[in-house]
Homo-oligomer: A and B are copies of this chain.
Amino acid sequence: MKIGVLGTGMVGESIGTKLVQLGHDVVMGSRTATNEKAVAWAKATGKGHVGTFANAAIHGDLLFNCTGGMVSLEALHLAGSSNLNGKILVDVANPLDFSKGMPPSLSVCNTDSLGEQIQRAFPGTKVVKALNTLSCELMVNPAKLPGDHDLFICGNDAGAKAEVMKLLKEGFGWKTIHDLGDITAARGTEMILPLWLKLMGALGGPNFNFHIVR
């Protein structure tokens, strides 16, 4: 499958590498076509490609937003509304604002979310919020933790959610993915971050995840 990964940070690198390993044709996009981290990533994978945000968006039938949440809207506008149109965009970002120090606050929450902002800004794109509630290492390797633990997904387009869930289950190895409904549920999954950050401190690292016991 042709996939565009927007963002060259740890999240983009982890997801891009996993997708290449699964045999997908991946372009990692950033502000410039010669981003050092993207070039190093492509070289390390052997099969990954690099380009601008627009190159990645044009290339992918499926897109991952792995940019920092504070710059996601800007990055997606650079990718280009027409290039995003009709595509599925998995939004992995969290609107964490570190500008006032630690712990970060959320730049949007409660009555809105980054997922909703992206969906409103790009109404022709099928935004699916997923993978934003755990470390990038666990995103692509859930088996690293013992037993059952869960993902959350939401979005307005049922077909897009089904396609993303298929990739996350059959490709990434996830067993339990809770469909929380439309994109407004992104408020809930983004607002879990303050608890996640406190747990990271209490547990001494990011190697944990939520499991819903019923």
A120 in the interface (beta carbon within 8 A): no
Number of identical monomers bound together in the oligomeric complex: 2
| Residue of A105, A195, A199 with most chain B CB atoms under a 10 A cut-off | A195
Could you say which of A36-44, A56-64, A179-187 contacts chain B? A179-187
A106 proximity list for chain B (CB < 8 A): 110
- Which positions in A face B, CB cutoff 8 Å? 105-106, 109-111, 145-149, 152, 154, 178-181, 185, 187-189, 191-192, 194-199, 201-203, 207-214
Contact B180 A189 (CB under 8 A): no
Contact A148 B212 (CB under 8 A): no
Contact B192 A148 (CB under 8 A): no
Q: Which of B146, B149, B152, B213 contacts A195 (CB 8 A)?
A: B152
Majority secondary structure of chain A interface residues (helix, strand, loop or mixed):
mixed
A199 proximity list for chain B (CB < 8 A): 178, 180, 188, 212
Contact A188 B194 (CB under 8 A): yes
- Say whether, besides A191-B194, A194-B191, A202-B181, A213 and B147 are in contact (CB < 8 Å): yes
A209 to B207, CA, bound (A): 20
**What is the CB-to-nearest-CB distance from A104 to chain B, in angstroms, rounded to a whole number?**
10
Contact A210 B208 (CB under 8 A): no
**What is the CB-to-nearest-CB distance from A153 to chain B, in angstroms, rounded to a whole number?**
10
A212 proximity list for chain B (CB < 8 A): 199, 203, 208-211
A197 proximity list for chain B (CB < 8 A): 188
Contact B146 A191 (CB under 8 A): no
Contact A211 B214 (CB under 8 A): no
A188 proximity list for chain B (CB < 8 A): 194-199
**What is the CB-to-nearest-CB distance from A143 to chain B, in angstroms, rounded to a whole number?**
12
A148 to B214, CA, bound (A): 11
**Which 4 pairs across A and B sit closest by C-beta, in order of nearness?**
A188-B195, A188-B194, A149-B213, A180-B198
Contact B214 A208 (CB under 8 A): yes
17 more contacts with CB within 8 A, not counting A179-B202, A180-B198, A211-B213, are: A105-B111, A109-B110, A109-B191, A110-B194, A145-B214, A152-B195, A154-B198, A180-B195, A180-B201, A180-B202, A188-B196, A188-B198, A192-B192, A192-B195, A208-B212, A209-B213, A210-B213
